[in-house]
Every structure is written in structure tokens, then in C-alpha cells.
Amino acid sequence: MNYESSLAIKNTLPSIAAQGMYDLATLYRDDTERCRRLAPAVVEKLAEHNLFKMGLPKFLEGWDDNPVETLKVYETLASAEASAAWIVWNNHLTCTLGRYLDETSLKEVYNDPSHIYANSARPEGVAEVVSEGYMVSGQWTLVSGCELADWFVLRCLVVSEDSPKTLGPGANLKLFFIPKKEVEIVDTWNVGGLNGTGSHDIVIKGAFVKESYAVSFDSPVVIDSAYNRLPIGCINSAGCAAMALGVLKAAIDDLVQMCLDRVTPGKNPDLRDRETIQAAIAKSKTLLTSKRSQLHSAVGTLWEVSQNKNTFTDEQLADVWAAACEAAREARAMVSEIYAVAGTSSLYKKYKIERAHRDIHAILQHGIVQPHWMNQAGMAYVGLKPTGAMFRT
């Protein structure tokens, strides 16, 4: 790539880059599905546009600006290929966790522009305290993009003489930054929805991790920036919801195109003449626009607060959690309705509706958009203190 091309990419908004990826991601949908991982051409182009790096500081090619832009990226990519959006979203979280590293370690882990990342916040490993660091072992499930990743951020229970040996009250949990050479992939990802994410199990057996590569959610943040002050939990939830909205858009666009393609001469009613189809399209377009607007507005408010170095109120955080969970839930319901009204066409893989129906149900299985976050938001609205561990993190 020449200097002019590289400069043009750096000056391109991530959402514009994602729009430019739409045709490519769609073109390689079958390859992504068949291989159960993103097609190499898609991975290459995502990396070229730094879309795996959006959660990093600007000096490491990150976005480092209004997070609403990242929501637009996820929605656009998901409308083409949900697995592509999922891996980009997952990389954003992994890069965001780098805020807890010291500056030297941050550069060591994230400085290579070609690198891709994966993570698991499930505490499915054990880290034994040793001299100058830890010995990490375990098997983590659902590690999306593990076949593509150069670095992993994995959560473990830290065990020592004076700490609990099991999960529960008082358990010492940390996140460990571990290179791919220490990781063995176990082929377990045989699924329907989000098939292209390659979310296999991984195993680590006695990997040494130095002290500076072990952090927790209450570790200090060395680089004080507006983006690094954003709460990880609800921003991650908003990203998951944006993907759900993108899948809904794919289903809407597919249904509309079916109607336009199936216009026949004669007296027999066409697909577009069915009242159920007409109502579903009108309803879904309204829902998509309204839920997107609410989600972007709530996240935009947090960005303004963060830029001004003010403290987020529980109500402001609740607005994001609630908007995200409801957007995701209603998008799933609407995709299911579209799947139903489209009739037997929904069964065929040549239509995006078939994949959308599988993918959105997989997206909604993630813990970050589960119904209990609505309860947490409700607590904030009635003057109670939300108790969810990630509500304010």
C-alpha cells in the first residue's frame, strides 16, 4: 500500500469504511459460513481499515472519538455479515481492556498494526501466583475469533495462600494478556447462528504471564482520555444491540427486495399485495429507526459527559443499558415476524432472512443484553443503587 492510500484510510470515518466493506462481506458470506471463520479477504480488508483497532488510543490507530461511530460500524457490517460485525465488536472490547495496562505494556501488546485480538471474560482459568508473575492454565469456551487472534485477554481466578481457591465471595479475578503461541484451539464451534465467528474453545497449559500483563476492572487507567473514561459494560451492550439492529436491517432489505422481484402480470396477488407483508415492513422500518435513534442518543450523552470529565449518573448509564436491551429484544422479535410472514422463502439459504433468523437468536444469547440488565436500569430509575458488577464499569 502506498503512502497516499494509507493516509486516505486513516482519514476515513470507520462507518464509511464499513459501508465500503458491505459488498465484500456479502460476496464472501458463503465462504465465511462454510469455513466457520471470516473469509481471509474480509479479514484483510477489516484490518486494512483498522476496524479491529477501534477501541485503542489514537496513537495506536484507534478511533478514540464519539463511540456512536462504532455503533454505526457494527450495524452496517451486521447487515452484510453478522459474523464480521461480531468479530469487530469483540476486538473493540479486547482493545478497550488495554486501558488497564501501563503504557509500555500497552504498546507491547497492541503496537503491531496487523494484529487481531480475542477475549473471554468468563473466569474459566486459574492463575497461580509465582515469582514475578503468574502461571496460567484453563479451558475457555466461546472464544470468538480465536483462530484469527495474535493476542488473547482471558479472565482467571487468581490463587495464592491467602486467597479463595474457588469462585464466589472474595475471589480474586484478573484479566491476563497472553500471546497466541501459548494457546491451543479445540474445535468445538458447530452451530447455526454466528457460524462464521469461529468461537471455539481454547486451552492453555502452564503459561507464564508477567505481572504487568495481569489487570482487573479496578486497575488504574494510565492514559486519561474521554474514550478511556467511557464505561466498558454498557458501551459493550450498546454494540451488541447495534449488531442486532443491523441483522434486522438485512431482513427488512431482503423482504423488500423479494416484493420488488416478485411482481407478476395477471390477477393473482403478488407477495407485496399481502397485508401481513405490508404491515411487517412498515412496522420494522419504524422500529429500526426509533431504536437506533434512542440507542445513539443515550450513548451520545455518555460521550458528552466523558468529554467534560463529569461523573456518569446511574440514570445516564441506565438509559444506555435499557436502550440496548430493548433494541436487541425488539429486533429479534421483528426478525422472527419477518421470517414468519415471508413464508416458505424464509427456509432458503439464498435469502438473508434465513441467516438473519439464526444470527439474531445467537446474538441475543450474549449475557450483555440479557433481561436482568433491564432490572438494573429500573433500579436506577426508582432511586435504588444498581448491584450489577458491570453496571458502572
Do the domains spanning 3-110 and 230-381 agree at the CATH topology level?
no
- SS3 state at 172: strand
Least confident of 31-35, 260-264, 288-292, 374-378: 260-264
Average pLDDT over residues 172-180: 97
CB atoms within 10 A of CB 187: 10
At the topology level, CATH places domain 3-110 in: Butyryl-Coa Dehydrogenase, subunit A; domain 1 (1.10.540)
Question: What was the pLDDT predicted at 122?
Answer: 94
Mean pLDDT score, 350-372: 97
Residue 44 has pLDDT above 70, yes or no: yes
Phi/psi class of residue 73: alpha, beta or left (left: φ > 0; alpha: ψ in -120 to 50)? alpha
- Give the per-residue pLDDT at 374: 98
Q: Quick one: average pLDDT of 340-361?
A: 96
What pLDDT, on the 0 to 100 scale, is given for residue 45?
A: 98
Whether the pLDDT of residue 3 is over 50: the answer is: no
- Indicate the SS3 state at residue 203: strand
Q: What is the pLDDT of residue 6?
A: 53
pLDDT tens for 179-227 read 999 999 999 999 999 999 999 999 999 999 999 999 999 999 989 999 9
CB 238 within 8 A of CB 70: no
**Phi, psi (5° rounding) for residue 183?**
-110, 135
Domain residue spans in the chain? 3-110, 117-215, 230-381
Identify the H or E element spanning 156: strand 151-159
Question: CA-CA distance, 121 to 104, in Å (whole number)?
Answer: 23
Give the Cα separation of 158 and 145 in Å (integer).
Answer: 25
Read off the pLDDT band of 5 (50, 70, 90): low
Above 80 in pLDDT, residue 283? yes
Q: How confident is the model at residue 169 (pLDDT cuts 50, 70, 90)?
A: confident
Asked if the 230-381 domain carries CATH number 1.20.1250.20, the reply is: no
Nearest partner of 72 among 241, 266, 264, judged by Cα: 241
pLDDT given at position 9: 60
The CATH code for residues 117-215 is 2.40.110.10
What is the per-residue pLDDT for 1?
55
* pLDDT exceeds cutoff 60 at 167: yes
Cα–Cα distance between 333 and 364 in angstroms, integer? 11
- Cell (9 digits) for 298: 443515550
User: pTM (2 decimals)?
Assistant: 0.96
Cβ atoms of 49 and 21 closer than 8 Å:
yes
End-to-end Cα, the chain, rounded Å: 39
Beginning with the edge strand found earlier in the chain, give each strand of the sheet holding 200-210 in spatial order.
Answer: 184-186, 200-210, 133-143, 117-130, 151-159, 172-179, 214-215
The per-residue pLDDT for range 291-337, each reduced to its tens digit, is 999 999 999 999 999 999 999 999 999 999 999 999 999 999 999 99
